[in-house]
Structure 1
């Protein structure tokens, strides 16, 4: 009796064994999943035993949690299974269920795929085609209304749609990519951030790793699969080889060797970057089969991942041409050949992950942007509270983050087995959530301490607020945001102006002032004549930056003269005429910048 398995993740060589010729006197038994249900003819199969069951992955639209459940098949699937018997001769199908179950419980056909998966990609594509009300579109098989609403919520979290459901420039760029919106959001974030990195020689390597990380997040973890496969195989072998201590020891030694090799790939900040580095090493190795065997990687998954990475790279370069996308999301650093060359050269010359810490953080921020609505916060040990579900969720034991267990992380998949496990976890920083998922944040009123301030680099005034993130309202560290109220903005700029932060010439005359500039920040002091008059003048003229001050003085150089003169002591006011000329000169000469780059943000004092 020859018993062979047949399932999708089995290696190609092992799958082909079922087609080998059966010797005389031997009987072939194939134990198969529903992979053998269609488009497959195994020579010599005369009998099919149909359990009427199949294990399928189910997706919860509301929570995003996935589960593997064994359920009844459809009548169409039962007919396909019966058709596997006697393809090359007479045969018979034995069904382990009654005709009543077949008629009354089995559906006629399996549910359409559109009802079982997220439809965020479909909604994004239709929005790009100027179809505002997707739920009214005449689908052949319409998805659930709740699925469309969840897709729109997801796209708003990814900043592809604005609060009114209209496509943003980012969403328009995402719609050009034939892939999941989460993956396109991640790649476009990397492209935009690298576009700001002038004269940086490693941009092509970082883009290569970004594409590899997307491939890693698109398929099952090859490290977890291999270990779990080993565990199941070992249990079966132990049952058949009781007492053979040498076999057990050999398997134990192999497992320890694989764990040691696995540590070489481990990136404590991201599962995706761990697998991306394993993929990098796999592609530059001379013997892929031997590399996977010695490092405990699932060979078939690694081959699929490598092909997917190459395909994604071609997609990126076909979609990010300056003529076909928004300027912020076009790639101008090189060609696809430059990326492949950088990938190969760096991989062959590195014994450890070639990414620098700032590059790992850039990729981590991009992953955060793609999964900003799938955030979990540490409760204790490896137990977390997730945004999307009420019950606790857990890091998988083979996650690269298991030892560090960061305070905040994002995950790509939530899979329920004996408990909800997060897969594809990446450590994130609070400021990334505020930057890339502002719609999920609730901000406090501006804090009085620390005080609002003027940023000369950004040429804007900012105040500090305390953000709360997600449905559980997790409190994040204080964050600076632009002041929205016109009068408050004028008051903060007026204070900075008198302090000499806008025009340096005013710093030297601060001892001559009749009061402290900080009184401008106190609303109750706006009733004082010199305080209120300066705030009102700045608000009326809409002066809240060096740029607006320069423009105003180009039209009328005497604007604010009397209001600023009133701030000087009476005995010192004759200095203002001479000082005023220096102020006008500095306003014309000093540069201002409104780039909005991260490096220009100041941290909380």
Structure 2
């Protein structure tokens, strides 16, 4: 009901002209009133509408500016209460010149400031009364302030030189300032998120650390490509970093002996100490480039120690690529600092002397890599030195990538970490020009080496028999050249020992000298022979006639009867060496650098009187597998009257500086492991080294005096066939273990990691495929931008456990599976033996070989476990004899390999104990029975399921008959196998215990190609049964559909459905017999489970209901079963809840006891449904 509104109208009416009733006819609503009412309603609706965020922010800013204007007057009045007097204010110096510039510029700035102030004061007195000059006075003041700001900007260390705060009363300026601040904060947030979002917090659990640390490296790629910060913001960030790096200078006093202090002063790096420490103080990363011998390895840690980087409980860490360098350098630095080995320590694999008092720590790069897994930020280190970075070892490259991001996080957290990369060559472009590694190129400091002139002699003719040439050259140098040590570079251990035996046979040390030197109580020092300096040596030109007479006065040696084989050499040692051969092969020396037309008869022959060929030659080997005590002999002085001769591999190129070396013989050869990424075949190839390595070798001759380098190859070979640099190790080795470690730390997309040199994409694909086969990774499909599906491999819980062990992922899998079979002591021992190299040395006598075969190669278990049994039995025998070195040598075992395997065995056991704390793991070894030996074969197969080979009894060859017709025939061949890895045939090595046995299928550790025979051999072979392949190598099998005969069955012990399937194995399609396996996932699996469930095989109590069912349960497995509604609802119910086993069904009933009851009652007759409800669920 509408209420009528009564309106009273009051107006005067001229009754004489109008009718008195006309006003009553006027309407109470006019058009204007209606419009006004509509406008009022619209305005109310507009007021009721919500403001947008943008408008709301705009209104808030307007209100904020209005409030600031209102409060500004009160604020100024309050501040005036605390304002100082004007005279006192004018007497104060400006903050722009107080403690903001260096000492060198502070005096100049004060004088400039005072002179300007005086001039300004005079002008102010003269001009202040003149209204027209006020403007000029104000402009001059502004100019001075701007000049002062520009002057301050020249020094990057001025505090807050770029912070300009506007205090004008203009509202627009305030708004602009606030918006710029917001932009800066936004930029900082973006940069922080993109660079180091995973490093911003410390995580209590390892999983959190791993997941978040992934963002550090991955997001850096996106940040490098997408985030662009303005130059002004970058300069602010850099200056803030430099300011944070500034700290109070600390000097730690070191009391060095006088002789050591004098020796240090002669090192070239001492002159650059100030520049080095200044660069380290003002930069997060510094690259030091200096030749070997400049003193960078021993002196830079001392610089850091004296600067206080080892105070406050922090450590100085130095990584070395080789163990011998870590040990020797720690002892040398401890000696120079006059400190104990507890304070300057080393840590290598299975060995170390690190203590709580350690301040300087030398270690191998693998040790630091493991520390990153435990402590992502490396908080206990204040400075880290990556030494020998030019060698580009695998872990050194990875460490540089990690540390390039860690130093940024430590700097922002207020606990800076300094990174020093040291290289012996000038190849630093991989670090300085890699924008993905370092956004700002680190400074490079070049150190001039203390290098005496080295005369390089090329050969006119390159003899392929470089071992014989090296032997000749040593004999000549020892016979005719002045005193000085000789260093010979060969390729491997076999060549080292071969040349040592040849030289010892020719120049033996007498029994008296040898006994005198080997007596530990008699400390015999070498005679101090004055080696002539370069200026003192007068080179005389002696004609060929006189040279021959002098040489003929020595004993003559016939080199033609010497063989490269050391055994043959030792059997027929002759007495003469023909040094007068004028053939071009011997005329290979020279007096000028890089001079092919050399005449060896004209060099250093004036002092031949005190040297004879009967003088002994003190020959020492040096290679990586040599014990540390024997490696240390090269640093000790030789016996009196003996010349030092070191025969070494490339370990002596850069890692060590051997004293008193004057002659270097460079064969130019190096042994490299060539690894095929696609086939996993490794080959030892002897090839030419790089030009950089050749220069490193020649530099060894000029450490103590002028020296000579004899290159046993021509200059044409050097220029044409030598590469400039050798390839990084990351391009030459498999990276499956590296990929697993990085996935465990948390890097999902490894391609975004800041590698100095990125690995090949093929190597990453092969490594990821292998880890998927080992169940260490699983592929998941993620939805990316624009709804694109991206496949990413994530580490599994099993792979995370595998990453805890310092062995290959294959061995880690075998080790974890062994805990289920109670074979931990045997498997740990076996893995340790497979990890070490050259367990059975080949260069032993026949008697030792026969003894070794009778002890370890004749047991019946060799037919079951193959080559692995020989390793186990040999180690068990050595363990029984207390790891006696005498027993190992007499039975043809390498003692160092035995000791290293034992240390690794104990380390793996400790790792297992830390993971499996609920189990008691024993380290006692016992002889296994036949069942355990077969189980070891199965475990070995589970880790090497892609290394399977099948015997080929015959091969097809093409022959020509008498009529010159070509035909193909089958030829029987011995020990020939077909592998699933390679296309070519592989063979059993003659050194294998399986050489005379025939087995259809074998599993092997690896394939290696022999450089002599050109064949590919299998190493560490174990025979297997064909039925095992479908079980332990299922990922390489192609299975058929489940067979109907025999039909599938439910296995209550394993709680799964079993079926029989045929399969083929590998790319060659080897047919395997039908075996019983788990039923594959799919619709049929749920149908069979429903059949066994309703049939009472899963829960026996349901068998009583079979007689009450309207249809038999076999209906579930019929091809037309889904047409039936009661079958369809049961199958859909199981599929939706993913129930295909008893365990899953029991878990569902715990949540919902009425689950599947309704569907089950559809199969029960009406008279018995009540009884079924009472007994549900049937568990």
**Could you tell me the TM-score, scaled by structure 2's length?**
0.40
Does the CA contact (< 8 Å) of 2:949 and 2:1002 recur in 1? Answer: yes
Pick from 936, 941, 957: which aligns with 1:363? 936
Closer, same or farther in 2 for the Cα pair 1:544/1:77, shift >3 Å? closer
State whether structure 2 residue 890 is matched by structure 1 residue 310: no
Map of 1:186 onto structure 2? 814
State whether structure 2 residue 1080 is matched by structure 1 residue 452: no
How far apart are the structure 2 equivalents of 1:22 and 1:167? 58
Closer, same or farther in 2 for the Cα pair 1:172/1:545, shift >3 Å? closer
State whether structure 2 residue 758 is matched by structure 1 residue 161: no
Closer, same or farther in 2 for the Cα pair 1:558/1:404, shift >3 Å? farther
Does the CA contact (< 8 Å) of 1:490 and 1:539 recur in 2? Answer: yes
| Structure of greater Rg | 2
Map of 2:833 onto structure 1? 216
The Cα offsets for residues 178-198 of structure 1, whole Å up to 9 and x where unpaired, read as 43322222222223x25xxxx
Cα distance, 1:544 vs structure 2: 5.1
SS of the residue corresponding to residue 896 of structure 2 reads: helix
Cα distance, 1:375 vs structure 2: 2.4
Map of 1:399 onto structure 2? 992
SS of the residue corresponding to residue 523 of structure 1 reads: coil
Map of 1:535 onto structure 2? 1127
Pick from 120, 134, 144: which aligns with 2:736? 120
How far apart are the structure 2 equivalents of 1:546 and 1:127? 35
The Cα offsets for residues 291-348 of structure 1, whole Å up to 9 and x where unpaired, read as 2133221223222222332333334444x2xxxxxxxxx34212xxx533x34xx4xx
Closer, same or farther in 2 for the Cα pair 1:52/1:435, shift >3 Å? same
Closer, same or farther in 2 for the Cα pair 1:89/1:307, shift >3 Å? farther
Map of 1:376 onto structure 2? 949
How far apart are the structure 2 equivalents of 1:562 and 1:509? 13
Closer, same or farther in 2 for the Cα pair 1:44/1:170, shift >3 Å? same
How far apart are the structure 1 equivalents of 2:1071 and 2:710? 60
Pick from 669, 672, 692: which aligns with 1:76? 692
Closer, same or farther in 2 for the Cα pair 1:584/1:272, shift >3 Å? farther
The Cα offsets for residues 545-591 of structure 1, whole Å up to 9 and x where unpaired, read as 556777487457564345355xxxxxxxx9x849x9599859635xx
How far apart are the structure 2 equivalents of 1:94 and 1:288? 42
The Cα offsets for residues 64-119 of structure 1, whole Å up to 9 and x where unpaired, read as 11111111111222123223436555531111223343344323332221111111
Does the CA contact (< 8 Å) of 2:1157 and 2:1173 recur in 1? Answer: no
Cα distance, 1:439 vs structure 2: 3.7
State whether structure 2 residue 699 is matched by structure 1 residue 105: no
State whether structure 2 residue 804 is matched by structure 1 residue 176: yes
State whether structure 2 residue 884 is matched by structure 1 residue 333: no
Cα distance, 1:415 vs structure 2: 0.8
Closer, same or farther in 2 for the Cα pair 1:94/1:489, shift >3 Å? closer
SS of the residue corresponding to residue 364 of structure 1 reads: helix
Map of 1:481 onto structure 2? 1078
SS of the residue corresponding to residue 829 of structure 2 reads: helix
Closer, same or farther in 2 for the Cα pair 1:548/1:182, shift >3 Å? closer
How far apart are the structure 1 equivalents of 2:693 and 2:1087? 72
How far apart are the structure 2 equivalents of 1:96 and 1:397? 34
How far apart are the structure 1 equivalents of 2:798 and 2:1026? 22
State whether structure 2 residue 652 is matched by structure 1 residue 60: no
Closer, same or farther in 2 for the Cα pair 1:76/1:544, shift >3 Å? closer
How far apart are the structure 1 equivalents of 2:736 and 2:1072? 28
Map of 1:560 onto structure 2? 1160
Map of 2:1001 onto structure 1? 408
Cα distance, 1:16 vs structure 2: 7.6
State whether structure 2 residue 856 is matched by structure 1 residue 262: yes
Moved more, 164-173 or 113-122: 164-173
Closer, same or farther in 2 for the Cα pair 1:409/1:36, shift >3 Å? same
The Cα offsets for residues 149-175 of structure 1, whole Å up to 9 and x where unpaired, read as 111111111111113422222122223
Cα distance, 1:145 vs structure 2: 1.5
Pick from 843, 847, 860: which aligns with 1:229? 843
How far apart are the structure 1 equivalents of 2:991 and 2:715? 45
Closer, same or farther in 2 for the Cα pair 1:184/1:286, shift >3 Å? closer
Tell me which of the two structures has the higher relative contact order, counting C-alpha pairs closer than 8 angstroms and 6 or more residues apart: 1
Closer, same or farther in 2 for the Cα pair 1:493/1:142, shift >3 Å? closer
Cα distance, 1:430 vs structure 2: 5.7
How far apart are the structure 2 equivalents of 1:63 and 1:123? 18
Cα distance, 1:395 vs structure 2: 2.3
Closer, same or farther in 2 for the Cα pair 1:137/1:77, shift >3 Å? same
SS of the residue corresponding to residue 185 of structure 1 reads: helix
How far apart are the structure 1 equivalents of 2:737 and 2:668? 33
Map of 1:146 onto structure 2? 762
How far apart are the structure 2 equivalents of 1:49 and 1:556? 85
How far apart are the structure 2 equivalents of 1:153 and 1:316? 26
Does the CA contact (< 8 Å) of 1:158 and 1:436 recur in 2? Answer: no
How far apart are the structure 2 equivalents of 1:331 and 1:483? 35
Does the CA contact (< 8 Å) of 1:221 and 1:275 recur in 2? Answer: no
Cα distance, 1:38 vs structure 2: 4.1
How far apart are the structure 1 equivalents of 2:826 and 2:649? 35
SS of the residue corresponding to residue 229 of structure 1 reads: coil
Cα distance, 1:260 vs structure 2: 0.4
The Cα offsets for residues 124-147 of structure 1, whole Å up to 9 and x where unpaired, read as 222234433222333111111211
Closer, same or farther in 2 for the Cα pair 1:366/1:177, shift >3 Å? same
Moved more, 94-103 or 140-149: 94-103
Does the CA contact (< 8 Å) of 2:1157 and 2:1176 recur in 1? Answer: no
How far apart are the structure 1 equivalents of 2:647 and 2:1030? 51
SS of the residue corresponding to residue 108 of structure 1 reads: coil
Map of 2:885 onto structure 1? 289
Pick from 855, 875, 886: which aligns with 1:279? 875
Closer, same or farther in 2 for the Cα pair 1:547/1:307, shift >3 Å? closer
The Cα offsets for residues 379-411 of structure 1, whole Å up to 9 and x where unpaired, read as 346322222211111222333444555443332
Which structure 2 residue ranges, 5 or more long, are not aligned?
Answer: 1-505, 508-616, 781-792, 954-973
Cα distance, 1:374 vs structure 2: 2.3
Cα distance, 1:513 vs structure 2: 9.4
Closer, same or farther in 2 for the Cα pair 1:213/1:453, shift >3 Å? same
Closer, same or farther in 2 for the Cα pair 1:581/1:399, shift >3 Å? farther
SS of the residue corresponding to residue 462 of structure 1 reads: strand
Does the CA contact (< 8 Å) of 1:462 and 1:480 recur in 2? Answer: yes
Does the CA contact (< 8 Å) of 1:385 and 1:391 recur in 2? Answer: yes
Closer, same or farther in 2 for the Cα pair 1:292/1:84, shift >3 Å? same
Does the CA contact (< 8 Å) of 2:748 and 2:794 recur in 1? Answer: yes
Does the CA contact (< 8 Å) of 1:538 and 1:544 recur in 2? Answer: no
How far apart are the structure 2 equivalents of 1:369 and 1:132? 26
The Cα offsets for residues 510-536 of structure 1, whole Å up to 9 and x where unpaired, read as 899999865654425x38x9xx46633
SS of the residue corresponding to residue 795 of structure 2 reads: coil
Does the CA contact (< 8 Å) of 1:465 and 1:481 recur in 2? Answer: no
State whether structure 2 residue 579 is matched by structure 1 residue 6: no
Which structure 1 residue ranges, 5 or more long, are not aligned?
Answer: 195-202, 235-250, 321-329, 347-353, 566-573, 590-605
Closer, same or farther in 2 for the Cα pair 1:66/1:545, shift >3 Å? closer
SS of the residue corresponding to residue 1042 of structure 2 reads: coil
